[in-house]
Amino acid sequence: MRKQASRGFTLIELLVVIAIIAVLMGILMPALNRVREQGRSTACKANLRSWGLIWRMYSDEHDGKFSPGNRVGWARGDWVLSLRKYWADKDSILLCPSAKKRLPSGNGFRNYGDDRHSYVQGRTDGVFGEECSYGYNLWLFTLPQGVSVLQRRPRELHFNSSYTGKMSNVPLFLDSMWRGGGPWYGEPSGRSSNPGYEGIRPPDFNGHWINARHEMMHFAIDRHSRGVNVVMMEGSVRPVGVKGLWSLKWHKRFDDARGFTGEWPEWLSSYSDK
């Protein structure tokens, strides 16, 4: 008896199969990307938890005092030197898994970062320092006697070892595109004033960089699901939306209940206030 010849796929059948695979990939890829991002965010939170512990060890070893902020002349990066002995053998915690590389610029690399790129620490003995993607709240310094202001930030607004208020809303370390920041409205008493002041104004777009004095811009980036991860002064770690950063207790007299009083840029119009 003669066997019937086997029939292969027709072109139409192959195209249908390819189309089905493409549709399935289109459905699955966003879900896979979300899972990957959740994993990176979880690892980021673990890094920040470590920074909270390291900062606590430093303050415990210095009679409850914080770093003086004046070790090398670039206070925004003082923390990486003050805390070096605690992180030197685990320097991977300097980098958020979502921002591990610097951004190329010309024949080299850009010094500042953005939502997906790290920055470089300041010069020590003429050499650039470590690559990082976290930043410090620069209102957490125990200023030496006789120092009334640090980088235009008044002494009386700084948190210090005597602070006993609610620490769960005081940011310590955050995802960042620069070494640190001390957001405020520029009014010496610390009361909310000018929402357009460079130290408090929001960025015009995600990853917007002007200069180091635009303090809130360093942190106001969309790195993890429309915001950043933050370790608070009492050690807890939580995600905070970009707009929610204006509702943190940055310094002693910062009005965290009021939030930002100015007009949000267009790119943040659909973001949550938390």
Name the 3-class secondary structure at 115: coil
Sign of the alpha-carbon torsion through 21, 22, 27, 28: positive
- Give the residues across from 123 on adjacent strands: 128
Burial of residue 211 (CB within 10 Å: 0-12, 13-18, 19+) is exposed
Query: What's residue 127's pLDDT?
Result: 56
Q: What are the sequence ranges of the domains in the chain?
A: 11-268
Q: Which residue has the higher pLDDT, 158 or 72?
A: 158
pLDDT in tens, 101-140: 999 988 788 999 999 999 998 766 555 689 999 999 999 9
Q: Which residues of 166-181 are buried (b: 16+ CB within 10 A; e: fewer)?
A: eeebbbbbbbbbbbbb
State the pTM of this model.
0.86
Query: What's residue 145's pLDDT?
Result: 87
Q: What is the CA radius of gyration of the chain?
A: 23
Residue 86: count of CB within 10 angstroms of its CB: 17
Q: Which of 64-68, 109-113, 159-163, 165-169 has the lowest mean pLDDT?
A: 159-163
Question: What is the enclosing helix (H) or strand (E) of 48?
Answer: helix 11-61
pLDDT in tens, 223-270: 999 999 999 999 999 999 999 999 999 999 999 998 898 999 999 999
Q: Which of 21-35, 147-161, 239-253 has the lowest mean pLDDT?
A: 21-35
- Give the residues across from 207 on adjacent strands: none
Measuring CA to CA, which residue among 8, 52, 15 is closest to residue 168?
52
Q: State how far Cα 82 lies from the chain centre.
A: 19
φ, ψ dihedrals at 36, nearest 5°: -65, -45
